[in-house]
Structure 1
Amino acid sequence: MSLTVPNGGARKRKRTDAVVPARLLKSRDLKDRKVTQSRKEEILWWEQQLVHDFRQRDENIVKLQNCLSEVKKKPKTSTLAAVALCRVFCRLIASEQLIRRPTDDQDNAGWLKLQLREYTGTLLHWIGTPDEFLKSTALTLVMRIVKAETSQEWKRAEQAWRTDRSTFYSLVATLLATPNAQDAIQEFVEKYVEEFDDVRFYTMLAIKQFFSAGDNRTPGNLDNALDLLKQVEGVPESDEQLEDWYGVSPDVKGHQLLSLNAHLKIAQDCWLSIFRSALTASNRKTILNIMTERILPWFSNRMEILTDFLTDSFNESGSVALLALSGIFHLMTQRNLDYPDFYTKLYSLLDENILHTKHRSRFFRLLDQFMASSHLPAALVASFIKRLARLSLQAPPGAIVWVVPWVYNLLRKHPTCTFMLHRPYHPAHAIYSSQPKYTEEGMDDPFDPLQSDPMLTHAIESSLWELRSLQEHWHPNVATLAKILGEQFTKKEYQLEDFLDHGYATLIEAELGKGMKKKPEVEWEIPKRIVTDDAGGLNEIGVLLRDAIQV
């Protein structure tokens, strides 16, 4: 049995577990040979018999199959039997003994297929065990069987990849349906899906076939499918990049494995089968988190389906809506998608809870990305600045320390909004002329916080008095930072990453970490005694305390 080695060559496997004398390999000796070795040596001996005398084939295969059932009591023995059976079945497949012939009266090929199916079923069951070594061993041995089956004549190899009764489909279905199979999924992706173009192609085909059955669309199966797909990083960019094959090389002219469009289409169908399932909020978050890096590269067309999914996700509101906007923004900037309501929907996310959520840092990063363009209308920018300034009045200090430098950066980028900071009196100014008694009665803020369209809030006609009030904030860091908006704008911009991930814990830690330049002075003398006098008796406080106890 030849095994593939890392350098691409092949060498015969050396057995160091047991040495069988050459004279015992003769068929006449094998028949009368009595098994006197240990269980481990027996397994190797049964395999040797299978190689040199196929009259012992059926009996020894059954013996090795029985060893697999001892995995709980004797895991090492069962593993050795599994490896031996793998070599046996690979030889049988390579010698075409699992193909039924017209002269096969006893249907030996059918019996061997049943034994192979039983063997792979046992290995697939091991994938669900908590033993990491058994999982890895089972995955490796099953993929060796797949290697043998897909290295046959082309039509049979194609059948071994595609049919829902094949070893490969059974493996993918097991990975999707087995709870806590993350380790096996990761190994499968790293060793096979990412390395071989045909494995990636038929894995996505198998996932599509698996979810075509409605009974398989359970939350656990979807979690495993997403766990597998989100690890697939390699997206081919041309037909020339399709050159790494695990099975037989597709030399047939015009075969779909040689077509980039076929790979893109099967990946799209795979993802669409997941989109059409009953996704939970957790599933949607996972999909939206990997949308730009793992999903969009496969979709060169059919973008309307992705747009519908993203729109439906936004309608769920909350963090899911924010993640959906991230995908829509990518389609707008990278794929020229027309989505005129993007900033209106983004503005609607700025509510009283957004600065208090645990996803605040992620929201800030995305918001800064969305507002990075210098071509945005000044009225729209002013609405976002005003809304966050209003929300900062009730925000925790960790959020305010990000809002202030973010406003600073936006004002630098959009100079037409800077007059919101300070407006000295001028009789011709619309605000003062409309409210001549502002000194006695004050004036109303023209900003409309209930307006959903950021272009119609009149924020640009208002002022950032909220940020001015933050200069009197109870936290000294917030008060100091807010004062930068009342000074000269000499700094080009602030690095907002320096202000993210702040909370009460980090702010308190920073205060406690400051060195004390001068010890505080106290205005009273600390007494040496509390309830007694110098003579040892009770003082006034002691007498009062005694009387209170007696009462």
Structure 2
Amino acid sequence: MKRRSTATNTTTPPFLEGCRKKTKSVPKLSLCHELLSSSHTNESSVRILLNYTTSESDPEFAVQSILSLQTFFAVRLFGDGVPDFDLRPVFDDFLACLLDIASSPLCKFHRVRMAVLEAIMVFVKLTKRGAFDFALYQSLIQAIVYSSSLEDNLFLESLASNYFNYIDVRYFTFLAVNALCDALDKRISSGNNAVIEGDGPQASLDNSISKIHFILSHIPPLRDSDTCFEVWSDGFLSKEVNNQENPKLKEGKDGRDENVLSAKKRLKMKLKFTKAWMSFLKLPLSVGVYKEVLINLPQAVIPHLSKPNIDFLTKSYDVGGVVSVMALSGLFILMTEHGIEYPEFYQKLYALLVPSVFMARHRAKFFELLDICLKSPLLPAYLAAAFAKKLSRLSLVVPPSGALVIIALVHNLLRRHPSINCLVHQDSRGETYQDDTSPPESCSPDGNASVASDIAGGTRGVDVFNDKESDPLKSNAMRSSLWEIDMLRHHYCPPVYRFVLSLENDLTVRDKTTEMRVADFSSSSYSTIFKDEMRRRVKQVPLAFYKTTPTCLFSESDFPGWTFGCEQLKV
């Protein structure tokens, strides 16, 4: 309903300043002022403003209606005043309108978005007489998650930046997310995993899961160093004494009292945090969300869980490829800091050593973790030898940047585990076998092959190491040698062969050398190698002088028995 009015001198309430346009908002301001200033208000006036509080309304009209109705209901329904009629049904309609706008494209306008968010959060506190109205807040989260609007992330960003600093809002957000994830999991188990059903617009399952991850990833974790917290509602934290009597309670920046969280509440917060994340990790995550979760889990989630669960990471570790590389960090933290056992860890880590890992986006972190995982002095000799040999074999096929990392890793393995120094120089003592059977092998109970065993298991010059074997114990690494590293002394890339030559004395003079920092080489690439070479000062430049101008690239004397010519085809 639109009407013209000449009441241009009407005083505008303070909360409407800056929210009107000169050409459109003036006719409606009189109705807003009448609703707020009159001591007797009929239901029709409220209904007229509700007609402007819809997702199809003009943004300015919607903002004015929301602000007016918010103040009206806060005073008449939850204040000391007595309403002229039953306001509860009209108030419920107003809340339904707010939830509809919150999940609509109208929230792309900042003023609309903030007006809706503030109104809902005010009534989250008022409807329970100061306590937190979880049902209303859950309806808000559910409306956003189930919506297909592209502006939902803007609304979630506003919610996170303005209200996730309150400890009670974080707590009830965990409850809402946990309930949503359980509902989605049941719906998927029943076979309905295409769309989310609801009264409003439908959203795809991946879109809803992505919003849930957005919410969880933007909630600040509860740290042990955090002492004082702000609360949005009353009753979540009890104040037994005032600030003068209890030094643990202090006034915040905006005048609101900050409260100390008890040990019981801390434990409860951790449990809700853990339940929300564990419920979320059960859902079928898209590739993009999956990778983001694996990146954030080690530092932002695992340290704050009440009881870390290894299932998600072990399943990710079994996927292979980049996903396994990204899961390694979280799995390593669970094993080293939380005492969780994973017997197949090193076997799966051994399987990750493929050429593609040297070109993965997260290769730098992977190589650093690989170096840490191989640092334990309790590592069996056969396992250290298998990793050294597998890495050496990969050095022949990976880019120069990968070869630099491999040299550093193998060097550290040889320094940490003297029992595998036999790989540097294996002496067969001239013994060979006349048949194809393998020589007798002496093995220790832990599977380590005796260092005194012969490497000449068959024909001289044949490497007995099986790089296709997935089990390090069966790879025959202890009976092989690191001839691949020696081959790198003739590598075509100068930094590679210079690096090999510089480490020749490290194994003989251990007191004067240290381990290599893998982090210095893990991020190398063709570009970084080229830039380093361009900065080097070359003192001597090799030159070639020819008495006559060369007519071919190779001369026949360089390749005895080969000719480089092209015979004429006879027709």
Shorter-chain TM-score: which interval? 0.7 to 0.9
Query: In the TM superposition, what are the counterparts of 1:389-404 in structure 2 within 5 Å?
Result: 389-404=392-407
Query: Which of these residues, 362, 367, 374, is aligned with residue 365 of structure 2?
Result: 362
Q: Answer yes or no: is the 8 Å Cα contact 1:401–1:478 preserved in 2.
A: yes
- What is the TM-score of this pair, normalised by structure 2? 0.71
What's 2:275 paired with? 269
CA deviation digits over 1:225-282, x for unaligned, max 9? 11221222322559x95853111233679x9996333323322332233233223333
Question: Distance in 2 between the 1:185 and 1:219 partners?
Answer: 17
**How far apart are residue 381 of structure 1 and its match?**
1.6
Question: Distance in 2 between the 1:436 and 1:46 partners?
Answer: 98
Query: Which of these residues, 84, 90, 99, is aligned with residue 111 of structure 1?
Result: 90
**How far apart are residue 457 of structure 1 and its match?**
2.8
Q: Answer yes or no: is the 8 Å Cα contact 2:54–2:97 preserved in 1.
A: no
CA deviation digits over 1:48-71, x for unaligned, max 9? 322321434544434444445697
What's 2:211 paired with? 224
Question: Distance in 2 between the 1:152 and 1:469 partners?
Answer: 77
Q: Answer yes or no: is the 8 Å Cα contact 1:142–1:167 preserved in 2.
A: no
Q: Answer yes or no: is the 8 Å Cα contact 1:235–1:297 preserved in 2.
A: no
What's 1:174 paired with? 144
Question: Distance in 2 between the 1:57 and 1:228 partners?
Answer: 41
1:447 alignment partner, SS class: coil
**How far apart are residue 204 of structure 1 and its match?**
1.5
What's 2:501 paired with? 483
Q: Answer yes or no: is the 8 Å Cα contact 1:420–1:464 preserved in 2.
A: yes
Question: Distance in 2 between the 1:370 and 1:46 partners?
Answer: 71
What's 1:458 paired with? 476
Q: Answer yes or no: is the 8 Å Cα contact 1:199–1:246 preserved in 2.
A: yes
Comparing 400-409 with 84-93, which one deviates more in the overlay?
A: 84-93
What's 1:532 paired with? none
What's 1:444 paired with? 462
Question: Distance in 1 between the 2:35 and 2:53 partners?
Answer: 17
CA deviation digits over 1:363-399, x for unaligned, max 9? 2233123223333223212211110110111111121
Matched, 1:145 2:130: no
CA deviation digits over 1:125-163, x for unaligned, max 9? 25653x4x24xx524542443233324546x845x21x2
- Residues 522 and 333 of structure 1, relative CA distance in 2, 3 Å threshold: closer
Q: Answer yes or no: is the 8 Å Cα contact 2:36–2:68 preserved in 1.
A: no
Query: Which of these residues, 248, 251, 255, is aligned with residue 234 of structure 2?
Result: 248
CA deviation digits over 1:433-485, x for unaligned, max 9? 857899xx634334232332324433233221101101101111111112233
Matched, 1:205 2:184: no
What's 1:318 paired with? 321
- Residues 432 and 469 of structure 1, relative CA distance in 2, 3 Å threshold: farther
Q: Answer yes or no: is the 8 Å Cα contact 1:398–1:504 preserved in 2.
A: yes
What's 2:68 paired with? 84
2:104 alignment partner, SS class: helix
Question: Distance in 2 between the 1:294 and 1:435 partners?
Answer: 49
Matched, 1:281 2:287: yes
- Residues 519 and 467 of structure 1, relative CA distance in 2, 3 Å threshold: closer
- Residues 235 and 16 of structure 1, relative CA distance in 2, 3 Å threshold: closer
- Residues 503 and 233 of structure 1, relative CA distance in 2, 3 Å threshold: same
Question: Distance in 2 between the 1:76 and 1:467 partners?
Answer: 72
Percent identity over the alignment is 23
1:395 alignment partner, SS class: coil
- What is the TM-score of this pair, normalised by structure 1? 0.73
Question: Distance in 2 between the 1:340 and 1:57 partners?
Answer: 73
**How far apart are residue 182 of structure 1 and its match?**
3.4
Aligned partner letter, 1:83: L
**How far apart are residue 322 of structure 1 and its match?**
2.6
Query: Which of these residues, 371, 377, 380, is aligned with residue 377 of structure 1?
Result: 380
Matched, 1:495 2:517: yes
Query: Which of these residues, 25, 31, 36, is aligned with residue 51 of structure 1?
Result: 36
Aligned partner letter, 1:492: T
Aligned partner letter, 1:333: T
Query: Which of these residues, 214, 225, 235, is aligned with residue 222 of structure 2?
Result: 235
Query: Which of these residues, 403, 407, 412, is aligned with residue 409 of structure 1?
Result: 412
RMSD: 4.0
1:448 alignment partner, SS class: coil
- Residues 269 and 140 of structure 1, relative CA distance in 2, 3 Å threshold: farther
Question: Distance in 1 between the 2:422 and 2:78 partners?
Answer: 81
1:117 alignment partner, SS class: helix
CA deviation digits over 1:306-362, x for unaligned, max 9? 222222223322222233333222221111112211111111111343224344333
Q: Answer yes or no: is the 8 Å Cα contact 2:141–2:176 preserved in 1.
A: no
Question: Distance in 2 between the 1:407 and 1:57 partners?
Answer: 84
Comparing 348-357 with 51-60, which one deviates more in the overlay?
A: 51-60
Question: Distance in 1 between the 2:350 and 2:237 partners?
Answer: 55
- Residues 49 and 227 of structure 1, relative CA distance in 2, 3 Å threshold: same
Q: Answer yes or no: is the 8 Å Cα contact 1:313–1:321 preserved in 2.
A: yes
Aligned partner letter, 1:419: C
Question: Distance in 1 between the 2:543 and 2:497 partners?
Answer: 26
Q: Answer yes or no: is the 8 Å Cα contact 2:105–2:151 preserved in 1.
A: no
Aligned partner letter, 1:191: N
What's 1:545 paired with? none
Question: Distance in 1 between the 2:91 and 2:82 partners?
Answer: 6
- Residues 518 and 352 of structure 1, relative CA distance in 2, 3 Å threshold: closer
Comparing 455-464 with 335-344, which one deviates more in the overlay?
A: 455-464
What's 1:186 paired with? 157
- Residues 183 and 366 of structure 1, relative CA distance in 2, 3 Å threshold: farther
Aligned partner letter, 1:189: A
Aligned partner letter, 1:111: V
Point out the structure with the larger helix share: 1
Q: Answer yes or no: is the 8 Å Cα contact 1:412–1:493 preserved in 2.
A: yes
For these two proteins, the number of residue pairs brought into alignment is 473
Aligned partner letter, 1:226: H
Question: Distance in 2 between the 1:468 and 1:452 partners?
Answer: 25
Query: Which of these residues, 342, 345, 348, is aligned with residue 345 of structure 1?
Result: 348
Question: Distance in 1 between the 2:276 and 2:150 partners?
Answer: 21
Q: Answer yes or no: is the 8 Å Cα contact 1:236–1:242 preserved in 2.
A: no
Q: Answer yes or no: is the 8 Å Cα contact 1:382–1:459 preserved in 2.
A: yes
1:290 alignment partner, SS class: helix
Q: Answer yes or no: is the 8 Å Cα contact 1:185–1:228 preserved in 2.
A: yes
- Residues 52 and 153 of structure 1, relative CA distance in 2, 3 Å threshold: same
